[in-house]
Amino acid sequence: MAPVAPRSGDAIFANVERVNAELFTLTYGAIVRQLLTDLEEVEEVNKQLDQMGYNIGIRLIDEFLAKSNVSRCIDFKETAEVIAKVGLKMFLGVTATVGNWNAEGTTCSLILEDNPLVDFVELPDTCQGLYYCNILSGVIRGALEMVSMKTEVTWIRDMLRGDDAFELQLKLLKQVPEEYPYKDDE
């Protein structure tokens, strides 16, 4: 199959069904609050948010592949760029910068200056260990696993903790080779 040019995140985002961002933000806030009440331990909430994100990511990748015309990324570098410029735009309406690559090209950061998940959010002192946006790291981890990349995704900077941006580190642990021969239309 001849490669089809990936559509830009903007173009896709303009055409997918959407809901109001504030409704999403408040709904997400309600989840976090619920988990804090039910689980009590902040560390457990972090884990649960990551797991919820993972479950979402393994499904969201289908919509991404269906609507983005991204067929296969050559390497982890291209994958990171596609997440930053197409994936985040398509789902959250924002983009990220990719940086802080290690020499081997297996670790990088997505740097977000805008993050709709945290609008109006302030963490009380009791939640200082919370990774409020941990659902997002889970989504990326889950989605990548569905395209054969096992990754570890962790927050390096977090504006809710006083940092100047959100920085999400992606570490490629293992790339499962795809099975050949395969047919593109399968």
Subset of 1-20 contacting a second copy (CB under 8 A): 13, 16-20
Query: With 0-12 CB in 10 A as exposed, 13-18 as middle and 19+ as buried, what is 175?
Result: middle
Task: State the minimum distance, in angstroms, from the CB of residue 46 to a second copy.
Answer: 14
Q: Out of 4, 38, 41, 102, point to the residue binding a second copy (CB under 8 A).
A: 38
Instruction: For residue 137, state whether it binds a second copy (rule: CB under 8 A).
Output: no
Q: How far is the CB of 22 from a second copy (least distance, A)?
A: 5
91 binds a second copy (CB under 8 A): yes
Identify whether the C-beta of residue 114 lies closer than 8 Å to the C-beta of residue 94: yes
Residue of 4, 27, 128, 148 that binds a second copy (CB under 8 A)? 27
Nearest to 32 by CA among 114, 120, 145, 111: 120
Which span (54-62, 78-86, 105-113, 147-155) binds a second copy, by CB under 8 A?
54-62
Residue 65 vs 156, nearer CB to a second copy: 65
Six-digit token string for 74 = 């050559």
Cβ–Cβ under 8 Å, residues 151 and 144:
yes
Q: Which of 116, 169, 171, 175 binds a second copy (CB under 8 A)?
A: 116
Indicate whether 56 belongs to the interface with a second copy (CB under 8 A).
Answer: yes
Q: Which is nearer to a second copy, 44 or 75 (CB)?
A: 44
Positions touching a second copy (CB under 8 A) are 13, 16-24, 26-28, 30-31, 34-35, 38, 48, 52, 55-56, 59-60, 63, 90-93, 116, 135
